[in-house]
Amino acid sequence: MRVNRSIDASQSCPLDSNASKTLNAFDASHASNARYLPSDPLRVDAGVFEWHASRPRTVEIHYDLEFDALAARLGAHGARRADDVFVHVVNASASAGGVLGPQGAGPNFDGGLISLCACNHGMRASLDACDWPGRWVAGFTTYSGMFGHQQYLRYLMRVGEAYASQHELVSALVHSGRADVVDAKDASRHASGDVWRIKPGSASDAATGRWRATTYCRPVIGHAHREDVDDETWHKDIEYVDQHGRRAALLVGDPRWSFVWNQPFICKTDPGPLRGHRRVSVTALLKHLRASAVAT
């Protein structure tokens, strides 16, 4: 089991003055292919997006809802039956008491937002960033003996924001007053972080080098994608390109439609191995979920 660790702030990789200037001078022309938000967070019309300068900070992620409460919330508040849900497996651990724990860097639940900016590169590259807002993502535990060959729902989110690179992601979070979210998810400080800060001295290259690993601070040693000083696994999180030339979009959930389970309350009716990801409807997802024995 991997332990979620952080290091002292003095060892972190802060934004230097040049990097801050780059963020302040962020070219809004990148907005057309960098950050996308639905004009109506509860309804997405194809091709209609607008730039939001800020996001409400009073909404929190919903934790450990039982199945009936989840179904009622999705049914009562506008989740359309045909909405796409991208289903995948997450790395998770289970304690003796059944509590589901984190393992790996994606998804990340810190900072009051669910983010999926590391791991699952192929799934995230299956759509352009502009096509992700309004889609749902669901993560289940692995089909293994650790979970009694049952698959539990670990998280569910409706994508509220999508970005083309870490440069755009960090810029947008800082500009919208959410620098604390960057701090909470900072991979140079936290072993499960999935946000990369611009490396001091590389700010001038951030716009042109936003898909180069050398532009960003390295993750802390012990990070899920940097086990030791020579481990460059994390480069894939920055530089990934699929066979069609598409890059992996960076996804942030709308907290009003973000759900996390630390308890194994909801499970699949048809557990089994899953490679890659599947794309189903909200209706199909709910039909294949039930309350687990723990929740009854």
- For 255-292, how does the pLDDT look when each residue is reduced to its tens digit (9 = 90+)? 999 999 999 999 999 988 887 799 999 989 999 999 98
pLDDT confidence of residue 41: 32
Residue 34 placed within a domain: yes
**Which percentage of the chain shows pLDDT scores above 70?**
70
Confidence (pLDDT) at 13: 39
- Cα distance between residue 228 and residue 58, in whole Å: 38
Identify which of 256, 61, 57, 52 has the alpha carbon closest to the alpha carbon of residue 172: 52
**108 belongs to a structural domain:** yes
**Mean pLDDT, the chain, whole residue set:** 77
Is residue 217 situated within a structural domain? no
Query: How many structural domains are present in the chain?
Result: 1
The answer to the question of residue 198 being in a domain is no
- The pLDDT score that the predictor gives to residue 23 is 31
Domain residues for the domain of 240 are: 26-166+177-185+233-295
Q: Give this prediction's pTM.
A: 0.79
For every residue of 9-22, DSSP letters joined together read GGGS----HHHHHH
Within-domain flag for 225:
no
Q: Which residues of 43-65 are buried (b: 16+ CB within 10 A; e: fewer)?
A: ebeeeebeebeebeeeeebbeeb
| 44/205 Cα distance (integer angstroms) | 34
Task: State residue 273's pLDDT score.
Answer: 81
In degrees, rounded to 5, the angle at the alpha carbon of residue 134 between the alpha carbons of residues 131 and 135 is 75
Per-residue pLDDT band for 103 (boundaries 50, 70, 90) equals: low
Residue 153 in any domain: the answer is: yes
What does DSSP assign to residue 148?
Answer: T
pLDDT of residue 31: 33
Q: For residue 49, what pLDDT band results from cuts at 50, 70 and 90? A: very low
pLDDT of residue 205: 62
Report yes or no on 290 lying in a domain. yes
Whether residue 253 is predicted with pLDDT greater than 50 in this model: the reply is: yes
